[in-house]
Amino acid sequence: MKGPSTRDRYGLGALGVYLALSILFFGRGLVGHFTTVWVGQHQGDPSAFMWFFTWLPHALGQWHNPTFSGAIWAPSGMSLIWTTWMPLGGLVAWPITRTLGPVATYNALTLPMIPLAAWSAFLLCRYVTDSWWSSLAGGYLFGFCGYMTFYLWVGDPILLAVFPVPLAILAALRALRGEISARRFTVYATALLVMVFGISPETFACMTMFGAMALVLAIALYQKETRRRLRALVGPILASYALAAAILSPYLYCIFSTGAPKSAIWQTFLSSADLLFFLLPSHVSEIARIAAVRHLLDGLPTTIFVGYTYLGPILLAIVVAFAWNHWREPLGALLLASMAIIALAAMGPELIVGGRQVVPMPGALLTALPLIRAAVPVRFMMYLALDASLIAALWLNTSGASRYTKCAIVALAIVFAMPSLSTAQWNSPDDTPAFFLGGMYRRYLQPGENVLVVPYGWLGNCMTWQAHTDMYFRMAEAWAGMPPQEFQHWPAMIALYNGNYLPEPELQLKAFMAAHRVSAVLVDERARSSHDAKQRQDYATVLAALGPAPVKAGGMLIYRLKPVDLAAWRDLKPLDLERRADEVRLAALIDAADRYLQSGADSTRLSSQRLEQAGLIRSDWVGGPDIRISNGLWVKGHADGTIELGTFGSRAALVEVAARYRLDALSVRTIAIPGSAGRQEGLELLMITFDRTGLARAAALARDASNPDAAPQAAALAASPAGH
């Protein structure tokens, strides 16, 4: 560590370079279209953040509690405490939101995040190396790494806003060297902690965990005098946390008085770093546009996180070269040990190689830590990228290689990690229909009216559309994290949310609308011919349930329903509706399996995929009562000729479903799904084992059950018009 430099003291020159590169890579399409085109993917997370940034000024302007919104998942509403609502961003962008609208606000907060991250890493690298050029490379390798560019494409500014982390390390190093007093360090650290918590409690928790790890490692690795100064930092650090807690106390009260989610959104298998992905680029990198690389990526097991963990072979080679020469030095040992620990944590509770779970990993221990247990392991890669970038800056500054060799290596590292140069990859036009712009919606909707918007939830941009109206209406949907548990018991909601096929759509959808006091349905006309099959399915579900739309305006089909129109469905219970959906789904599966075997096919090769390929069963059945269940089917053939068929559902609903086939089955059993809630509401997998004769008898029953007109209905269902 060489100490501070007076050249470009605040790194403004470096920040200018990073800003120019960010605009070149990601912002070219925004020039002249800042309010109508956004940076990131077309739908999903960008839409949610536009809503979050609009909600905070709206709520405060109306003197409402900003931590709870009745505008989404109406009529019950939803607490935003455990969502990614990024309150500090909403406050900072308030003036932009009120003057330029949600798209401009999102762009103004998202586009600068990569340059700010690179700039803060530059300041840290420059302090450690005292080299402007080495630090410029180090800052770039962090700010434009695979983690950052992929999250920019996904559209998650909350995960891009990591610039306070290098600044916190820089403040600690300056305090360690005595360049700032303990009091000033406490003030700096408190401000950074409050900032990070206002951005994301998850980032706050991860920064705390890895900061504590680095401090313990440093105390163990450094000599007596440095060790003494490190221990002296503990007091100011604890004081800064205490002050931050005092400042954040109202927010902390809201957090701890609101029950935490009972289950994580992402399954551990999907949210852990695959070992192969450290070397494989993302789909949004320039190198992935090469046909051979694209073919390789397309052949990988399905995962949404390929590219998040990408550091590139050149940067990894630099780390190896640095380790070869500096692993005995305290700073080298600290950085390398930190990299190893962070990589292990990012891999989660199990080692995954090429999509296959291999062996348990130490990351399982993190599930016992508060806040950290809800963190997504692969997001720890940000700290690994920061560590590797600092190592790269140190290697460039200390290596005996020639200047030309270093320049060539840095150029290769940049090329291997370069984001896609395609504007279409990074910029998405605002697709808001004219209905939601210019006040047209006021002619058809009453203020605060509860509405169903299709495409539903995350399958479209309903959050952006509502934000454009400044929360004029409410929605019985959202994309703001996991839906409230109460909504997940309704098959209609699960089907619309996942774009799945919904049997008996009139019965299911009207019961859901009646229970949630939905008085209008708005359907985007473009969904009928959308390239997204899930949007097309949502469109088909609504038209099958409600018929042709009586009104069209501003690109939307408009259905108006009075309470009397839904009176016959008002008393239907979600458990009865789920049981009916489970019955129809399982009956279709049993019938399909029987027809498959009647064709002379080998029972040992029986699977849901083969039934789909044979055209015997749909691939997009509604699952539930959990949005993470895909088609809710279980199929397995055994060598002894027995067949295992099953479906997912809540415990209470599956009891009667199982009873229908118990006499024809060899065995009936259920498996509880870990993390499911409630004695009767807990999610289970019903598995029924048949021999060939029993399956044939069950199939005869199933053909009646799969026909809604012939199926025996619960009393509530039989009383409804859809039951006749």
Q: What is the DSSP string of 321-335?
A: HHHHHHTTSHHHHHH
Collapsing DSSP to helix, strand or coil, 703 comes out as helix
Exposed e or buried b per residue across 440-455, where buried means at least 16 C-beta atoms within 10 angstroms of its C-beta: bbeebbeeebbbbbbb
Q: What is the mean pLDDT of residues 606-624?
A: 86
CA distances from 269 to 81, 159, 264, 272, 351 (A): 26, 20, 12, 6, 9
| Rounded distance between C-alpha atoms, residue 667 and residue 661, angstroms | 10
CA distances from 610 to 299, 589, 614 (A): 20, 12, 6
Collapsing DSSP to helix, strand or coil, 429 comes out as strand
Residue 714, both tokens: 């619960």
Place of tokens 């909504």: 487
Residue 518, both tokens: 């939905």
Mean pLDDT is highest, among 304-313, 372-381, 441-450, for 441-450
Q: Name the band, by pLDDT with cuts 50, 70 and 90, for residue 628.
A: low
Which residues does residue 57 pair with via DSSP β-bridges, in sequence order?
none
Q: Name the band, by pLDDT with cuts 50, 70 and 90, for residue 558.
A: very high
Residue 180, both tokens: 């700032």
Confidence at residue 497, expressed as pLDDT on a 0 to 100 scale: 94
310, 362 Cβ separation under 8 angstroms: no
Question: Which is more confidently placed, 704 or 435?
Answer: 435
pLDDT in tens, 406-464: 999 999 999 998 999 999 999 999 999 999 998 999 999 999 999 999 999 999 999 99
pLDDT in tens, 465-483: 999 999 999 999 999 988 9
Q: Mean of the per-residue pLDDT values for the chain?
A: 89
The full length of the chain comes to 724
Place of tokens 């400042």: 247
| Rounded distance between C-alpha atoms, residue 518 and residue 512, angstroms | 8
**DSSP, res 478:** -
Residue 320, both tokens: 């190896």
274, 306 Cβ separation under 8 angstroms: yes
Q: What is the DSSP string of 244-295?
A: HHHHTHHHHHHHHHSPPPSS-SS-TTTSS--GGGGTSPPTTBSGGGSHHHHH
Angle in degrees, 0-180, between the axes of helices 381-398 and 146-154, rounded to the nearest 10: 140
| Rounded distance between C-alpha atoms, residue 538 and residue 523, angstroms | 9
582, 647 Cβ separation under 8 angstroms: yes
pLDDT in tens, 254-288: 988 887 666 555 555 556 777 777 788 888 888 88
Confidence at residue 675, expressed as pLDDT on a 0 to 100 scale: 58
Between 290-304, 551-565, 595-609, the lowest mean confidence (pLDDT) is in 290-304
Residue 138, both tokens: 């180090």
Confidence at residue 310, expressed as pLDDT on a 0 to 100 scale: 85
| Rounded distance between C-alpha atoms, residue 494 and residue 459, angstroms | 12
Between 187-196, 364-373, 509-518, the lowest mean confidence (pLDDT) is in 364-373
* Degrees to nearest 5, angle at CA 683 with 682 and 686: 125
Mean pLDDT is highest, among 253-257, 535-539, 649-653, for 535-539
| Rounded distance between C-alpha atoms, residue 687 and residue 603, angstroms | 17
Confidence at residue 722, expressed as pLDDT on a 0 to 100 scale: 40
Q: What is the DSSP string of 638-653?
A: -TTS-EEEEEEEEHHH
Place of tokens 């009767």: 680
Exposed e or buried b per residue across 159-173, where buried means at least 16 C-beta atoms within 10 angstroms of its C-beta: bbbbbbbbbbbbbbb
Closest CA to 625 of 660, 693, 689, 573: 573
537, 464 Cβ separation under 8 angstroms: no
625: preceding bond cis by omega (within 30 degrees): yes
| Rounded distance between C-alpha atoms, residue 17 and residue 586, angstroms | 59
| Rounded distance between C-alpha atoms, residue 77 and residue 166, angstroms | 37
Written as one letter, the residue type at 474 is R
pLDDT in tens, 82-137: 899 999 999 999 999 999 999 999 999 999 999 999 999 999 999 999 999 999 99
Which stretches of 399-490 are DSSP H helices? 403-417, 423-426, 462-468
| Rounded distance between C-alpha atoms, residue 526 and residue 305, angstroms | 30
Residue 37, both tokens: 């085109």
Residue 223, both tokens: 């000599």
Q: Name the band, by pLDDT with cuts 50, 70 and 90, for residue 719.
A: very low
| Rounded distance between C-alpha atoms, residue 584 and residue 577, angstroms | 11
pLDDT in tens, 311-370: 889 999 999 999 999 999 999 999 999 999 999 888 887 777 766 777 777 776 776 666
Between 45-54, 358-367, 636-645, the lowest mean confidence (pLDDT) is in 358-367
Closest CA to 189 of 172, 202, 177: 172
| Rounded distance between C-alpha atoms, residue 268 and residue 349, angstroms | 8
Q: Name the band, by pLDDT with cuts 50, 70 and 90, for residue 712.
A: very low
Q: What is the mean pLDDT of residues 157-185?
A: 97
Place of tokens 């680029």: 281
Q: What is the largest CA-CA distance in the chain?
A: 86
Phi/psi of residue 555, each to 5°? 85, 10
pLDDT in tens, 568-583: 999 999 999 999 999 9
Confidence at residue 500, expressed as pLDDT on a 0 to 100 scale: 92
Instruction: Give, rounded to a whole angstrom, the gap between the first and last alpha carbons of the chain.
Output: 80
